[in-house]
């Protein structure tokens, strides 16, 4: 592969070609938490397993396995290194922007692939809490219907932005939001700006 054809950073290339912490045998890992996201029928599925120091509430090890593209592999590889030694509450807050920054950047049309790892990680953390009777700590990703006519949620709009949509009409094409009465247009535009800044805007210096 020539350098001209490789559109990713060298760090992405390194983590794709030499992924860290891949799960080889789930039964022998003895995980404290297990999380799965995605759907292999759609081309992307992610499994994340964690071990936790129960006294300190710190992740001591993280293993993963995916059916996904180079971005998904590299993103989860670097994520698995980031979370070792990290408190559960801090690890739960990690998102696509943090992973993207650690990799030195991903092409915008590939950022959506990087959310698989952190979503599966949050599921694994919630699973750990459930296994240990800490139900008050379990957090679910809430979703709210923005377009009542078509039943489109804020999470679907966020997913469209992660997939590259930047305008109201691009999001509308992907989700069918606002295609009946159009009464949600202003709110959708606000959400597009919110999610674009959340996932793509550079942090203030």
Q: Are 162 and 112 in contact (CB under 8 A)?
A: yes
* 105-112: long-range pairs with CB below 8 Å, 24+: 105/9, 106/8, 106/12, 106/71, 106/75, 107/7, 107/8, 107/71, 108/164, 108/200, 109/163, 109/164, 110/69, 110/71, 111/71, 111/162, 111/199, 111/200, 112/159, 112/162, 112/163, 112/164
Spatial CB neighbours of 32, under 8 Å, sequence gap ≥ 6: 50, 51, 52, 54, 128, 131
**What is d(CA 23, CA 50) in angstroms, rounded to the nearest whole number?**
11
Cβ–Cβ < 8 Å for 116, 37? yes
* Active site (annotated) includes residue 149: no
Helices 70-82 & 10-17 angle (0-180, nearest 10): 90
**62, 113, 147, 184: the active-site residue:** 113
Is 62 catalytic? The answer is no
* Among 42, 62, 147, 181, the one annotated catalytic: 42
Catalytic annotation, residues: 42, 113
């Amino acid at each position: 592969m020539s350098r001209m054809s490789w559109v990713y950073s060298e760090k992405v290339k390194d983590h794709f070609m030499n992924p860290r912490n891949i799960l080889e045998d789930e039964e022998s890992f003895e995980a404290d938490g297990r999380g799965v996201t995605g759907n292999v029928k759609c081309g992307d599925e992610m499994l994340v397993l964690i071990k936790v120091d129960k006294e300190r509430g710190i992740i001591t090890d993280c293993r993963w396995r995916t059916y996904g593209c180079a971005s998904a592999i590299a993103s989860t590889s670097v994520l698995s290194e980031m979370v070792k030694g990290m408190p559960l509450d801090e690890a739960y807050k990690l998102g696509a922007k943090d992973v993207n920054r650690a990799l030195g950047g991903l092409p915008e049309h590939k950022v959506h692939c990087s959310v698989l790892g952190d979503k599966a990680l949050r599921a694994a953390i919630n699973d750990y809490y459930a296994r240990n009777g800490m139900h008050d700590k379990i957090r679910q990703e809430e979703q709210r219907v923005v377009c009542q006519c078509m039943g489109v949620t804020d999470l679907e709009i966020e997913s469209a932005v992660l997939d590259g949509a930047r305008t109201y009409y691009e999001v509308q094409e992907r989700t069918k939001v606002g295609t009946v009465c159009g009464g949600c247009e202003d709110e959708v535009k606000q959400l597009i700006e919110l999610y674009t800044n959340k996932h793509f805007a550079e942090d203030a210096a």
